[in-house]
């Protein structure tokens, strides 16, 4: 990855994981890292990572009803999505690098 792009991605990750928010930085960092969380929130974050388009309004409503605030949902959703995107980007770049190394 170009150094300037890598620097931007790293800066975004730092902002999401360590910037101001209602969710503690350690929990946001865990969401970016793809660490498993317990319960309905954990299942929701896993769905965000693997099949975000399939998240339903009912799932979000259930999390709200269980006491998860909109701010918490937003911050953790962004963190989980960012972690999944970084993993996919890294895998794609590794595949490209491997393909060019073989030629």
Q: For position 1, what pLDDT does the model report?
A: 62
Q: How many domains does the chain have?
A: 1
Backbone angles phi, psi at 69, to 5 degrees: -75, 165
Helices marked H in the chain: 3-18, 25-33, 39-51, 57-65, 70-102
pTM: 0.90
The SS3 assignment for 81 reads helix
Residue 61 structural domain = 3-102
Contact 21, 75 (CB under 8 A): yes
Which tens digit of pLDDT belongs to each residue from 16-68? 999 999 999 999 999 999 999 999 999 999 999 999 999 999 999 999 999 99
Contact 49, 84 (CB under 8 A): yes
């Amino acid at each position: 990855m170009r150094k300037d792009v890598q620097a931007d991605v790293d800066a975004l990750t730092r902002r999401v994981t360590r910037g101001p928010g209602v969710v503690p930085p350690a929990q946001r960092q865990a969401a970016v890292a793809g660490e498993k969380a317990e319960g309905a929130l954990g299942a929701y974050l896993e769905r965000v990572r693997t099949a975000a388009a399939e998240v339903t309004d009912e799932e979000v409503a259930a999390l709200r009803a269980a006491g998860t605030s909109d701010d918490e949902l937003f911050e953790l959703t962004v963190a989980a999505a960012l972690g999944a995107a970084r993993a996919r980007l890294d895998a794609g770049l590794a595949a490209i690098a491997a393909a060019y190394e073989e030629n």
